[in-house]
Amino acid sequence: MKINHVIKTLIFSDLYLNMGLGLFGPIFAIFITQQITDGSIEVVGFAAGITQLFKVVLQIPIAKYLDKNHGEYDDFYSMILGGVLISLSPFLYLMASEISHLYMIQALYGVGLAFLVPPWYAIFSRHLDKLHENIEWSFESVAIGIATASSAAIGGVLANKFGFQVVFVIAGILSFLSIFNQIKIFKDLKEKVKRGTVKPVEDKLS
């Protein structure tokens, strides 16, 4: 089977993003306790909570705003903005030394997720190939699984041999690569989408 350009591009973009973020996921708690002044397991928990707090508070209002336009260009810009904010986070960790620094970065990360997640799902859903919805969502799930499993192992090895800095730089590069890849779908987007419809559109196969 052939997968249309939008779906294929978004899957690979998610692969790059999850590989980048997955590199430091398993070692993030160690980074906080070793590199952040007064860092502790408690701080690790609050850091994770701050990210999710900003995400859940902002995500629905952003999604409602994006739905008002009924087109895909605003979705695209929101997705790119969210990706940029998320991709900046690994580089900002390089400069973090205080708990306040960490919490601000985690808040930025959460804001990025709020801008990225709704439009990503919206665009992906609209461009699914008819009668291939299950397999294409499965490809997306498999891509995330591969990215998470491989990057977790690689991230641990890199951190052990070269330190946290190298891991964060590589993570940031992979995350930005995801954004650059997403830009390729701009020509496939629709200016208007009918209210109440989420259905496949005719995309060029590649």
Determine whether 173 is exposed, middle or buried from the number of CB atoms within 10 Å of its CB (0-12, 13-18, 19+). middle
d(CA 18, CA 81): 17
Residue 68's pLDDT is: 87
Which residues does 37 contact at the CB level (< 8 Å), separation at least 6? 97, 98, 99
What are residue 4's phi and psi, to 5 degrees?
Answer: -65, 165
Q: What is the pLDDT of residues 138-153, one digit of tens each?
A: 999 999 999 999 999 9
Residue 202's pLDDT is: 54
Residue 69's pLDDT is: 75
Quickly count: other Cβ atoms within 10 Å of residue 36's Cβ: 20
User: What average pLDDT score do residues 171-189 get?
Assistant: 95
Residue 154's pLDDT is: 94
User: What average pLDDT score do residues 171-181 get?
Assistant: 96
- pLDDT over 90 at 204, yes or no: no
Q: How many CA atoms lie within 13 A of 22 on its CB side?
A: 18
Quickly state the pLDDT bin for 190 (edges 50, 70, 90): confident
Mean model confidence pLDDT for the chain: 91
Q: What is the pLDDT of residues 13-34, one digit of tens each?
A: 999 999 999 999 889 999 999 9
DSSP, residue by residue, 94-140: TT--SHHHHHHHHHHHHHHHHHHHHHHHHHHHHTPPTT-HHHHHHHH
In words, the CATH class of domain 5-184 is mainly alpha
For the chain, the 3-state helix, strand and coil shares in percent, each to the nearest 5, are 80, 0, 20
Q: Which of 155, 174, 150, 175 is nearest to 165 (CA)?
A: 155
User: What average pLDDT score do residues 59-64 get?
Assistant: 96
Quickly state the pLDDT bin for 206 (edges 50, 70, 90): very low
